[in-house]
Structure 1
Amino acid sequence: MDPSALGWLLVIITINSADGFREYAVDRCVFNSTELKDIQYINSYYYNKLEYARFDSNVGKFVGYTKYGVMNADRWNKDTSLIAVRMAQKEAYCLNHVTAFYPHILTKSVEPTVRLYSRTPPAGHHPSMLVCRVYDFYPKTIKVRWLRDGQEVTSDVTTTDEMEDGDWYYQVHSTLEYTPRSGERISCRVEHASLKEPLVTDWDPSMPDSERNKLAIGASGLILGLILSLAGFIYYKRKARGRILVPTS
């Protein structure tokens, strides 16, 4: 290619890529099973990141979202062959991808991790509050229940919805407000598709988390103090050993 022509080509590419206008289309498949009836095919058209028209298999036609999109949707909907082609994509495009995803990704499951700890309740609430944090599990559906001596507790229980972690995993928090009784056993019971049987975690009231933390911090401080004291003593002894005593008259 002639160098001057190549130079002009680079100039044209640079001008068109800098703050240029971009139009593109995106195909999506929304589904909750491998059954064709549970699959939705969506074909969206964008101009500068703004969706101006869409074909939705659940609607069976194009829908416009801007003046330009409405004009094109009306024109495309008159073409019955185009509508038939788009409807066929639900099976030809979506079904093939969905059936490939399910056995390799979406049927996999990850067991939840459970942490049971106490929390200081707000003023005026029950004297004790336990939190059952369940996290890093997949798929989303999960059941978290509280048990007192093996019997389910339904009052004074607050459970959040499943929250996305942003990495395909989920987490959920359940709180129990209760008045402790001597000798009782409080447990958090978790049921999930990844578990062969429910996961039951018992609360150990022997020492609250806050007390454990205080004890750990105190022990760490004591050990550090002993180390510094020992280092100071060794330093003093070495200094004393190197001194020269001068007799005085």
Structure 2
Amino acid sequence: MDSLGKFLTLLVALLRLPSAIYSESYSLNYYITMVSSPLPGLPLYSVIGYVDDVFFGKYTSDSRRARPALQWMAERVEPEHWQMLAQLGQYYENVHKIFMMQFRNLHNQTKGISVLQVKFACHKHEDGGIGGYLEFAFNGKEFVVFDKDNLIYIPGTHEAQVITEKWNNREFQGQRNKNLIEIECIGWMDKYVLHGKHYLLRKVPPQVKVTEKASGGVTKLLCHVYGFYPRDVDVKWMRNGADEVYSDEAKQILPNTDGTYQIRASVEVTPREGDSYSCNVDHSSLEKELIVPWEPTISTHRGIALAVGASLVLLCVLIVVFGVLAYRRFHDSRI
């Protein structure tokens, strides 16, 4: 078997890390990264595995071991399986070193740090359809993409044409890659479903904490939603129970170490007397939308009262001034 064939075989073998799913539609994804020189806190080589958005395993050049990220995988999958994956990871790492040198040579890059990335995935839809992809990137730019329907590699840059011509001339290479995506990878996913269904079919309701921070007459409301599973969630701020409050701050769902997720949603408002605000959370674990009202602190109440008081004082001053001016005009008109 040629080096590319070994590489792709190892790539799918690494995809055989145990995993789980929580819906009829799911995907198995691997993100592979290699750097040409050491960087602080970053291994020279790493393979990170996900089922949908759930991180479930990795291999790195630092440990040279394949390790499960979830407790149930460590308990249910035999140690020999992880040992085998570690051996494949070590070989896979050596193959990518060759790829790194080839890609650097094509770009005449003899100095500096280069980054090689590979994305491999297979997925199954609710209707039973299957798909997947294999992509290579170099220094942050798409380099080569495998078209599994036409069984060819497509160059993403001028330099990549040299590589794709070589790979496309290898007999049966395209069909082998298609089988790896649509048969082997999918087969392993189905197997992992049996192990992980208990984990990824669970429903964990979110916890919600609402806080505030006032500055310069503007109040920033923060809604921290945490500890929920599965990942999909809708969080929004509402005014008076009817109007959604717009915010230009992006809401990003982040993973927790225990396998749950968290998200923060914040808005800046200028509270007025009579206004109410609430953080509304919609999640599959809830029977109905969770509404958590914002309860202004004493200082915020004082600020609103001062603002209202200042407005009343200003209004009174305007009335007095208007009255004085009106009186003078009336008096002057009689003279």
Q: Which TM-score band (shorter chain)? A: 0.5 to 0.7
Task: Give me the TM-score of the superposition, normalised by structure 1.
Answer: 0.54
Distance in 2 of aligned mates of 1:59 and 1:178: 58
Question: What fraction of aligned residue pairs are identical, expressed as a percent?
Answer: 19
- Structure 1 residue 177 corresponds to structure 2 residue 269: yes
Distance in 1 of aligned mates of 2:175 and 2:200: 30
Distance in 2 of aligned mates of 1:108 and 1:56: 36
**Post-superposition shift, 1:203?**
1.9
Secondary structure of the equivalent of 1:120? strand
AA aligned to 1:160 is A
Alpha-carbon displacement from aligned partner over 1:38-61 (angstroms, at most 9, x marks no partner):
631327699xxxx98663536742
Describe the shift of the 1:110–1:56 C-alpha distance in structure 2 as closer, same or farther (beyond 3 A): farther
Q: Is the Cα–Cα contact under 8 Å of residues 157 and 175 in structure 1 kept in the other structure?
A: yes
Q: Is the Cα–Cα contact under 8 Å of residues 220 and 266 in structure 2 kept in the other structure?
A: no
Task: Please tell me whether Structure 1 or Structure 2 has the larger radius of gyration of its CA atoms.
Answer: 1
Provide the residue aligned with 1:119 in structure 2: 213
RMSD: 4.1
Secondary structure of the equivalent of 1:160? coil
AA aligned to 1:76 is W
Distance in 2 of aligned mates of 1:188 and 1:34: 33
Q: Is the Cα–Cα contact under 8 Å of residues 161 and 172 in structure 1 kept in the other structure?
A: yes
- Structure 1 residue 186 corresponds to structure 2 residue 186: no
AA aligned to 2:204 is V
Provide the residue aligned with 2:242 in structure 1: 152
Which of 68, 84, 107 is 2:175 aligned to? 84
- Tell me which of the two structures has the higher relative contact order, counting C-alpha pairs closer than 8 angstroms and 6 or more residues apart: 2
Provide the residue aligned with 2:230 in structure 1: 139
Unaligned runs of 5+ in 1: 1-20, 212-249
Distance in 2 of aligned mates of 1:112 and 1:66: 45
Describe the shift of the 1:106–1:40 C-alpha distance in structure 2 as closer, same or farther (beyond 3 A): farther
Unaligned runs of 5+ in 2: 1-92, 100-117, 303-335
- Structure 1 residue 22 corresponds to structure 2 residue 68: no
Describe the shift of the 1:159–1:66 C-alpha distance in structure 2 as closer, same or farther (beyond 3 A): closer
Task: Give me the TM-score of the superposition, normalised by structure 2.
Answer: 0.42
Which of 154, 158, 162 is 2:252 aligned to? 162
Secondary structure of the equivalent of 2:133? strand
Distance in 2 of aligned mates of 1:133 and 1:45: 36
Distance in 1 of aligned mates of 2:135 and 2:276: 55
Q: Is the Cα–Cα contact under 8 Å of residues 109 and 139 in structure 1 kept in the other structure?
A: yes
Describe the shift of the 1:208–1:116 C-alpha distance in structure 2 as closer, same or farther (beyond 3 A): farther
